Structure 1
């Protein structure tokens, strides 16, 4: 196995190996920081501050990503990632200092995290596309698989390390751990050999808005996409807070320590890693993608309901692992087919729509969850949200063409939308 890994690293090149290490450290920084920061807000500001924080960050990411992501194509990706990491780490350092001094102010936290969101709006697009710039074309598929594995590892150990630091020394320790990982990640990125700049147009929100409008038009003209997108938006309103802002509140409600927040987050990450690697392939072969997707929604629903019912910390982490497995299976089946069904030159436009739907749904979900917590306990809200998500299974069951679409092979589904609805892509 080690020899196979060495061979893969040789084939993809030294620069890509360093980028993978940078990706790994960046995710450790993000996940450890998320554990420490969410627990700090939950402990001092409660549901109101968490809802405000979640809504503000989602809205800013929605606006800044299309505005800043073109810098990844216009400049040296190494410089973009490294400098953005340094600026984000500076923001986390200030948060760590504030936590160390026991100075809590949600306005300061949101302000510094908005700076971090701006950095991520440049880091994420650059890191997603860097393989195509540094890896020989014949090894791109191998490089993408290796990068996903490194990212999955980072998402798994990040919460674990953050939770350990939180349990041993408090929120400040988890944030200082994030600072250390961020600084090392930036240093590794600076060490990568310079990359060639690509000619590109000036970054423009107007261009993104144009692409977004075209993506909306195309989706509206395709019946399956029209209803699938609408249903997904409603689903995210309940799913996003249940796996985000409400998690630290649930841990506190059950009287558990902050270290268990890291364990629960790790359970979710492990589930998301196991889904594509182990579960999805076997279930798809036995039941087919359509039934697996319905089963995945049921798994998410059951996991969320049980998280509201069960109080034992180990069982809570298992519940979130079930949610992670179910989510990754659904995304793997649905998103892969949807991307293949769209002509290649339209995929970027539909990705813009996906991002807008998720972030706007997350913002609305955070706001509604904050309002709901004025009347309900957080465990009751989990039971209610899980039940609503379960009811939505019926919506996916009756989506026009959904079952037939998922039954298609990868070869059959390629450009399926263009063949079936050619007029949908006739845009001015």
Structure 2
């Protein structure tokens, strides 16, 4: 588990450093059009690769997939760093490296989301997921500062550092115990597994309802975490330093929730109410961020949003992971990540349209309010309250018990 946590910190730190350095260089060399094209094509590639590669996460050792994804990401970072160092800008190569990164993410992300359930007993899974979330939040806290410092020295140095961090993460993954792969599948099984995963994600009422409610909520909430923050600060006439403070506030709130805040809240309110309340408070916090005219209050609001985000996510993540049979986890996690990617693309588009008709503060408050109202959708998801009330051993393979026809028997990987 220790190697996995090290890899999570290093991976998120690398992604944050690259997320600062690469767009900066592409915008300098190719302008906003090249930056937008790269972002769009990378998102489309990730959306396609995620479901296509998801069956591998249920058939191959997850440790091996994570290593492959990290090494491919490091290769892409090395290629980008080489271009920057040589001052040899090529939009074609930038797009190719973006597609390679999407391929790497498609291999790595579903495995990373579900591997914790293989590393610890069911009773320890909440603690394992809390530690995973803490590791990711630590990377988020450190990433912008490290990336900014490196870019101020040299963009090339920053991307070479990203490559080194990804290689270090791959080395950390080697310390994760490798579980045996499933038996070799017959020809055509990959297509069948992909179809079964998509069918299960829609046919299980809890999974379908959870995904739809999350889609509405994340479409409205994600712009409030990212796109709307610098626009709001600019509308207030505040300096760029406030953007760093706002990002730090959000990340520290997430870290606080992961380091024990979510457990404290769930112990007092219950998992279901924590899940609903987490989404509700995120939306209300973004309403406050949009309505305020004070930079400090905006930072504090985003801290609260980050805390509520960790509480809401962690309250349901453990039970959902245990409820999904082990040989379906990567595929269903991939569907959830596809939903997030669509939300991440649709949300900014809606914000852009709304800004043609209203001020930043009005749009910010409106998106937060709709996000808060989306929490009520969890009340309508059939069986969700019952599932979240179960103990960890009771909820294991719960989807299979409720829908045996969707989850064909398959032996779980063994160490």
TM range (shorter): 0.7 to 0.9
Q: Which residue of 2 aligns with 1:57?
A: 42
Q: Which residue of 1 aligns with 2:313?
A: 331
Q: Matched residues in 2 for 1:94 and 1:312: separation?
A: 43
Q: Which residue of 2 aligns with 1:34?
A: 19
Q: Is the 8 A contact 1:59 1:360 kept in 2?
A: no
Q: Matched residues in 1 for 2:185 and 2:230: separation?
A: 37
Quickly say closer, same or farther: Cα 1:232–1:146, change in 2 above 3 A: closer
Q: How does 1:125-274 map to 2 (within 5 A)?
A: 149-163=134-148, 169=152, 173=154, 176-186=157-167, 189=170, 210-274=192-256
Deviation at 1:161, TM superposition (A): 2.6
Q: Which residue of 2 aligns with 1:344?
A: 326
Deviation at 1:388, TM superposition (A): 0.8
Pick aligned residue for 2:267 from 267, 285, 295: 285
Deviation at 1:258, TM superposition (A): 3.6
Pick aligned residue for 2:75 from 87, 94, 103: 87
TM-score (ref. length: structure 1): 0.74
Q: Matched residues in 2 for 1:274 and 1:354: separation?
A: 24
Q: Is the 8 A contact 1:55 1:366 kept in 2?
A: no
Q: Is the 8 A contact 1:35 1:163 kept in 2?
A: yes
Gaps of 5+ in 2: 410-415
Q: Matched residues in 2 for 1:65 and 1:275: separation?
A: 28
Q: Is the 8 A contact 1:211 1:352 kept in 2?
A: no
Quickly say closer, same or farther: Cα 1:314–1:39, change in 2 above 3 A: farther
RMSD over aligned Cα atoms: 4.5
Q: Which residue of 1 aligns with 2:365?
A: 383
Q: Which residue of 2 aligns with 1:25?
A: 10
Q: Is the 8 A contact 2:252 2:303 kept in 1?
A: yes
Q: Matched residues in 1 for 2:157 and 2:254: separation?
A: 26
Quickly say closer, same or farther: Cα 1:28–1:79, change in 2 above 3 A: closer
Q: Which residue of 2 aligns with 1:302?
A: 284
Q: Is the 8 A contact 2:7 2:173 kept in 1?
A: no
3-state DSSP of counterpart to 1:392:
helix
Q: Which residue of 2 aligns with 1:369?
A: 351
Q: Which residue of 2 aligns with 1:414?
A: 396
Q: Matched residues in 1 for 2:63 and 2:210: separation?
A: 36
How many residues of Structure 1 are paired with residues of Structure 2 in the alignment? 403
| CA distances 1:44-96 after superposition (whole Å, capped 9, x unpaired) | 977x9887665443322122234567497599668635632432323553686
Q: Matched residues in 2 for 1:186 and 1:412: separation?
A: 39
TM-score (ref. length: structure 2): 0.76
Q: Matched residues in 1 for 2:289 and 2:95: separation?
A: 28
Q: Is the 8 A contact 2:221 2:283 kept in 1?
A: no
Q: Is the 8 A contact 2:114 2:330 kept in 1?
A: no
Q: Is the 8 A contact 1:87 1:116 kept in 2?
A: no
Deviation at 1:158, TM superposition (A): 1.0
Q: Is the 8 A contact 1:164 1:259 kept in 2?
A: no
Q: Is the 8 A contact 1:66 1:208 kept in 2?
A: no
Deviation at 1:280, TM superposition (A): 1.6
Q: Is the 8 A contact 1:54 1:366 kept in 2?
A: no
Gaps of 5+ in 1: 1-11
Q: Which residue of 1 aligns with 2:101?
A: 116
